[in-house]
Amino acid sequence: MKYILQISKLDAALRQLQTAILLYFNSRDPVSIHTLAAAAYNLLRDIRDSRKEAFAMSKDAGGIPAQYKKAFRDLLSKSENFFKHADRDPNDIHLFRTQGTEILLIDACDAYIRMTGEEPEYIALFKRWHATCHPQYYRNDSDFYKTAMKMRRFYGENDRFAFFQDGMSFKAKI
């Protein structure tokens, strides 16, 4: 193992995101997945802001009325903050709703693609899995949607490990 790595913020975000996706597909620890996904998401959001790029991310709370935006952001950040900090509440207990992790993951995947024009394999795989499980969020006339529906019939909504194992080679089966 190297002792010194030269890593950009974008590379750090990609590494965190890909590791979160790998853990996700292998049904590993949800807290670790969420923590990595949130770290990648936050890095990508900060990079987007510094570049003054104009695409929305979920914590921007675009469709939320102004008086509820802070509460919405706090709700999205509650688990990630609980998992990172104990300065105010070292003995607290948290009810973790894991659905928020998928929101962070898909949002971070989209942000990475928009910023780099690249779609690394794990990101492409997660996007296809997300479309397979949540087709209502995709245009039903797109090729991406049609592929996702074929994959849904083949894998169902619950066999993410088999989906991951087959990986991108599934495209050849369609």
pLDDT tens digits, one per residue of 85-120: 999 899 999 999 888 899 999 999 999 999 999 999
Asked if the model's pLDDT at residue 164 lies above 80, the reply is no
Compute the mean pLDDT over every residue in the chain, rounded to the nearest whole number.
87
CB 79 within 8 A of CB 96: yes
Which tokens belong to 69? 């935006």
The distance from CA 31 to its chain's CA centroid, rounded to whole angstroms, is 14
In sequence order, the 6+-apart residues with CB closer than 8 A to the CB of 103 are 58, 76
